[in-house]
Amino acid sequence: MNFNLTDEQTLLQQTVRQFAEEEVAPGAIERDETKTWPEDIVRQLGEMGLMGIMVPEEYDGAGMDTICYVIAMEEICRADASVGVIMSVNNSLVCGLLDDFGSNDQKRKYLAPLAKGECLGAFSLSEPQAGSDASNLLCRARLTDDVYHITGTKNWVSNGIHSDVVVLFAVTDPEQKHHGISCFIVEKGLEGFSVGKPEDKLGIRSSDTSELYLDDVKVPAVNRISDEGEGFHIALATLDSGRIGIAAQALGIAQAALDHALNYAREREQFGHKIVDFQVIQFMLADMAMEIEAARLLVRRAAFTKDQGEPFSRLAAMAKVFASEVAMKAADKCVQIHGGYGYIRETGVERLLRDAKITQIYEGTSEIQRVVIARDLQKKG
Ligand code: COS
């Protein structure tokens, strides 16, 4: 067993860390406050190959493995988890889906520009009545003369406003329940396609989340991904990969919390001592470091298992639920160590607590992750 990163992984970590510290971190508090989309940063991520990290070079991706992906996600999210979600949606939910299930023509037309960051993708499964119960979709796609007519409302779409292309799930045969769901590539700008207002969120505020409205949007049949009825399987398989990315996002937030807490504790004096000298603070820092280390091992183990081509659904769920809980605890401790200074916006650490919360909710709540783990245990022991 070897826990060391390869030379390629180490170089990537150093490069992304430097970029995150110099370009991403400086404006993070202000972007959060003003809900400003990080346009310039997203462009630079594309230029650095970070929008298509695992996409094969043949399709203009960086051709790296999932370990590289989680390393990059952790470093970016250590600076700004809003940037991290924009990146993770494009990488795992859109590029990953197209790479795994798209036809060669679809990959040439859509995957290559998405991987290069020339355009941005979104993933649209949820609907107002279909969150955890993801197969309960109402959005309908009817086929006539090689064109699907899609009508319905989708919600909670990350990158919903700024994306150019959406991979979207709709019902092609309502009689078939989850076997009647299909997956489509829908270009923005088609007649009948409109986007809702940006949601006003607790955290990850400089990323966008919106509803999508489809009113008889005409999508060519060649834009259906895989066969009719394969959509639910595609969605769940893609979410397995996505969950590793969100686990890495949570890890980055947790590490940022520890960084801030340690720096502050070393500087802050009370009762004539640096507060880092008090055992109560030391125990908090020790617990944060210990839990972050455990989360990192689990995240990288899930990524490694995926790279080996082995089943990784259970590990992805474990990594997400564990890392997101560690992020919440670390961010809470970080605010507590900062005292009153942690509770005001300008210190920037309350943002970590707000950003951490979503990692327990999106791409499957912690409760759903436990369902996935328990079902896998029942099946395989
Ligand atoms: N990958 C591929 N296929 C999977 C799968 C996976 N990880 N897990 C289940 N499936 C397949 C099953 O094999 C089954 O297919 P068949 O009927 O052909 O055998 C089908 O999906 C339905 O499986 P199941 O009966 O277990 O589905 P449920 O409706 O009970 O849902 C959960 C299972 C709850 C785990 C799933 O709906 C889920 O993950 N929900 C959360 C969705 C989510 O993450 N939403 C966030 C949206 S993106 S922000």
Per-residue pLDDT in tens (0 to 9) along the chain, 381 residues: 889 999 999 999 999 999 999 999 999 999 999 999 999 999 999 999 999 999 999 999 999 999 999 999 999 999 999 999 999 999 999 999 999 999 999 999 999 999 999 999 999 999 999 999 999 999 999 999 999 999 999 999 999 999 999 999 999 999 999 999 999 999 999 999 999 999 999 999 999 999 999 999 999 999 999 999 999 999 999 999 999 999 999 999 999 999 999 999 999 999 999 999 999 999 999 999 999 999 999 999 999 999 999 999 999 999 999 999 999 999 999 999 999 999 999 999 999 999 999 999 999 999 999 999 999 999 999
Helix (H) or strand (E) holding 224: strand 224-225
**Looking at residue 128, what DSSP letter applies?**
T
CB of 127 closer than 6 A to ligand 1? no
* Ligand 1 atom 30: residue of nearest CA: 133
Residues paired with 141 in a beta bridge:
150
Last residue of a domain, one of 120, 154, 180: 120
**At 156, is the secondary structure helix, strand, or coil?**
strand
Question: Half-sphere exposure of 88 toward its Cβ, with a 13 Å CA cutoff?
Answer: 35
Last residue of a domain, one of 197, 229, 261: 229
Residues paired with 187 in a beta bridge:
165
CB of 85 closer than 6 A to ligand 1? no
CA of 247 to the centre of ligand 1 (A): 19
- The CA distances from residue 264 to 181, 271, 285, 345, in Å, are 51, 16, 11, 16
Residue 262 belongs to domain spanning: 232-380
Cβ 62 vs Cβ 11: under 8 Å: no
Reading phi first (left if > 0) and then psi (alpha if -120 to 50, else beta), residue 89 is in alpha
Last residue of a domain, one of 80, 98, 120: 120
- 104 and 175 within one domain: no
CA of 179 to the centre of ligand 1 (A): 11
Number of compact structural domains in the chain: 3
* Ligand 1 atom 13: residue of nearest CA: 233
Read off the CATH number of the domain in which 357 is found: 1.20.140.10
Q: Please classify residue 157 by burial: count the beta carbons closer than 10 Å to its beta carbon, then call 0-12 exposed, 13-18 middle and 19+ buried.
A: buried
CB of 289 closer than 6 A to ligand 1? no
- 180 and 102 within one domain: no
* Ligand 1 atom 41: residue of nearest CA: 132
State yes or no: is 363 an active-site residue: yes
- 202 and 185 within one domain: yes
- 294 and 224 within one domain: no
Cβ 185 vs Cβ 106: under 8 Å: yes
- Out of 22, 199, 363, 367, pick the active-site residue: 363
Say if strands 121-124 and 165-171 run parallel, antiparallel, or are unpaired.
parallel
CA of 361 to the centre of ligand 1 (A): 16
- 255 and 283 within one domain: yes
- 109 and 57 within one domain: yes
- 91 and 78 within one domain: yes
CA of 137 to the centre of ligand 1 (A): 13
Residues paired with 151 in a beta bridge:
140
- 142 and 197 within one domain: yes
